[in-house]
Structure 1
Amino acid sequence: MSKEAGSPRTRAVRDNGRHQWEKDRARRPRPTRAGTGATEHDTGLAPHDLVFLARYRRTDAPEDLADAFGVPEGTALLERTYRTRCADDPAPFSLVTSYVLYDLVAANPDLLDESKEPWPGGTQHQLHTVGVEVDRVEERLTARPPTPEEARELRLPPGSTVILLRKTSYGIDDRVVDVSHVVLPADRTELVFTTRLERW
């Protein structure tokens, strides 16, 4: 039986430690990378509990993304749209749209093929295959009411709020290598930030 909008849904706990966890796995053997992904990490679910959808398309960089990547407006980007949900729930955990420079990832033709998703090791491993090491990840959060389309896709009740997350990944040469826009349903998402301080 599928879950309706008013019934309890699986919560996702998004901890910023997930980025180091992903990086640590980027150079591991494929069986290790394929065993679990970021959604399983955030929800505690197993791969067989999930339904995953990815759609890719080539697009031209609008002004804001061109500025972020430091490239001319109209530069080719690969836009990747992801939806992951519980097998018994029609609503995805989040609405994710990720952008990478088309010419960068085209060095590995497999990275242009949506049928290769879910990619074992995620974006950090994908970038690793074209010689990119992620140095840091910046995440900016805001909140607002959902658009009608977001409310419909996330199966949100009236009066709901969504959390908007803009995630920017930087390579070790300080260039932007990925920009992701994530829409998270506030009623079933917990954000946890742990700041580790070096001892004196």
Structure 2
Amino acid sequence: MPQDCDRTPVVRDNGRHQWEKDRARAPGAVRAMSGATEHDTGLHPADLVFHAEYRELAAPCPLAEAFGVPAGTVLLERRYRTRYGAENAPFSLVVSYLVREMIAANPELLDETNEPWPGGTQSQLHTVGIELDRVEERLTARTPTPAEARDLALASGAPVILLRKTSYDINDRVVNIADVTLPADRTELLFTTRLERW
């Protein structure tokens, strides 16, 4: 296992959301040149090992309420793990949820073998006519579960940062919820708030 100082650091800047939106409608070849992980790490696509798993599930009450849909509505759960090829642990553990009915018009979005999707979720949503208006991110921290500590190869005593990312479309609908578990021993969160000039 690499030492902490040998781990690739990640700087997650909230400006990444506009960067992703600006690229959502770009040609596939342009989108394939880099993604959010490359943006956050400075690595290249060839440096990364990516894994995705999809499954459908009935929305439990907390997720149903967050999406504003009835409990039991079919969701597509997507689990992502991306790591630097020279390291053994992913940068984060991501579980993303979409309402299946919202994306069913494009069957390619239901197939995990189409991942990694050039341009990420915003580009996927664009294929079914959904444009994001805003992304809300809530952060908390806690002690990792044994599985999280193992999967993220955390240093002893290192906490995890939990990020709940909720994406709203231009009609104020929640269209994506992602729960991201980040290793606090190698993740920096950077928030830059741009203010319009008077």
- TM-score past 0.5 threshold: yes
- Structure 1 stretches of 4+ with a deviation exceeding 2 A read 3-7
Distance 1:146 1:5 in 2: 19
Distance 1:5 1:91 in 2: 12
SS of the residue corresponding to residue 178 of structure 1 reads strand
Alignment of 1:91-130 (within 5 A): 91-130=89-128
1:67 equivalent among 65, 68, 74 = 65
Find the counterpart in structure 2 of residue 83 from structure 1.
81
Residue by residue over 1:143-198, the C-alpha shift from the partner in whole angstroms, topping out at 9 and shown as x without a partner, is 01100000000011221110000000000000000000000000110100000111
Alignment of 1:1-200 (within 5 A): 3-4=1-2, 6=4, 8-200=6-198
- How far residue 96 of structure 1 moved from its aligned partner, in angstroms, is 0.2
**8 Å CA contact retained: 1:5, 1:155:** no
**8 Å CA contact retained: 1:142, 1:164:** yes
TM-score, length-scaled by structure 2: 0.98
Distance 2:190 2:155 in 1: 24
**8 Å CA contact retained: 2:80, 2:94:** yes
Residue by residue over 1:58-115, the C-alpha shift from the partner in whole angstroms, topping out at 9 and shown as x without a partner, is 0110111100110010100000000000101110000000000011111100000100
Distance 2:4 2:77 in 1: 32
- How far residue 4 of structure 1 moved from its aligned partner, in angstroms, is 2.6
Matched residue pairs, number? 198
TM-score, length-scaled by structure 1: 0.97
**8 Å CA contact retained: 2:4, 2:185:** no
| Aligned alpha-carbon RMSD (Å) | 0.9
Give 5+ residue unaligned stretches, structure 1.
none
Distance 1:185 1:20 in 2: 24
SS of the residue corresponding to residue 35 of structure 1 reads coil
**8 Å CA contact retained: 1:5, 1:156:** no
Give 5+ residue unaligned stretches, structure 2.
none
**8 Å CA contact retained: 1:133, 1:172:** yes
SS of the residue corresponding to residue 135 of structure 2 reads strand
